[in-house]
Amino acid sequence: MSPIFVAVDTQDVHRAAAIAREIRGVAAGVKLGLEFFCAHGHEGVLRLSEHELPVFLDLKLHDIPNTVAKAVRAIAALEPAILTVHAAGGREMMAAAKAAAPPGTKVVAVTVLTSLDRDDLAGIGVTSSPAEQVQRLAALAREAGVDGIVCSGEEVAAARAAWPDGTIVVPGVRPEGFEVADQKRVVTPVQALGDGASVLVIGRPITAAANPAKAIADIVESLSPSQPKSRVVV
């Protein structure tokens, strides 16, 4: 089974549906973030679901526990395969999100965004390195009872060692030679999977390709020798 959720970051629902059609049967599913959800809401998600692809709803919820729980209940009918919350919201908030989620939805906590480095963390008052902050928030997420975390490929090996059965999602994944763009802590798909990632989130290398189906097929083929593919749980 492919470990790749394709990040469909667009407000164009027709373009998103076209990508979903092209990658069906090769991708694990589609990841829909704030841009798509704010533009199209429930109806847009349901339209993408028509292509029989699991949906990873990347909303990064972060608010008081009661509000987050209500937000999760509000989207429960969409039955996302994966849903994100911010680990920085705290143990009680994460626990509330998990309690409100549908049984088939994995709730994963975002630790440190892949667009942030040590200087960025210092700017918001966090004196730890990204790796230290990921470790701290991952431990909190595990205590809260969520299903796993989101972290960069640079931290995934340590996260896997600390949480052997957790669902570890790695965004900011770039094939060899592909531009980093707005990401700062990136790894290749092979490295991320080899270090213990459960799910790889890949966007522009696939969605910006002339042939998205071939682009993802080539990436999947490059992963074929990797033993950890069995870790994928969605």
Banded pLDDT at 230 (limits 50, 70, 90): very low
- For 99, the token pair is 């309690």
Banded pLDDT at 36 (limits 50, 70, 90): very high
pLDDT at 137: 97
Tell me the mean pLDDT in the region 130-155.
95
User: Assign residue 145 a region: left if phi > 0, alpha if psi is -120 to 50, beta otherwise?
Assistant: left
Mean pLDDT is highest, among 15-24, 89-98, 115-124, for 89-98
The separation between CA 149 and the C-alpha centre of its own chain, rounded to angstroms, equals 9
What is the residue range of 51's domain? 4-231
- DSSP class of residue 118? H
What is the chain's mean pLDDT, rounded? Answer: 90
From the candidates 60, 106, 184, 229, give the one annotated as an active-site residue.
Answer: 60
Q: Which of 206, 207, 192 is nearest to 150 (CA)?
A: 192
Q: At what angle do helices 91-100 and 65-75 cross, to 10 degrees?
A: 20
31 catalytic residue (yes or no)? no
Residue that wins the pLDDT comparison between 91 and 50 = 91
* pTM of the full structure: 0.90
94-141 tens-digit pLDDT? 999 999 999 999 999 999 998 888 999 999 999 999 999 999 999 999
CA distance 128 to 112: 11
For the chain, how many structural domains are there in total? 1
Q: Which residues contact 70 (CB under 8 A, 6 or more apart)?
A: 100
* Least confident range of 48-52, 176-180, 184-188, 195-199: 176-180
pLDDT at 228 over 90: no
- For 78, the token pair is 């969409």
Q: What's 106's domain CATH number?
A: 3.20.20.70
pLDDT at 185: 55
β-sheet bridge partners, residue 33 = none
Q: What percent of the chain has pLDDT over 70?
A: 91
pLDDT at 214 over 80: yes
- For 60, the 3-state DSSP assignment is strand
Tell me the mean pLDDT in the region 40-69.
95
pLDDT at 233 over 70: no
pLDDT at 223: 85
pLDDT at 226: 45
Tell me the mean pLDDT in the region 14-35.
93
CA distance 51 to 36: 16
Banded pLDDT at 22 (limits 50, 70, 90): very high
pLDDT at 9: 86
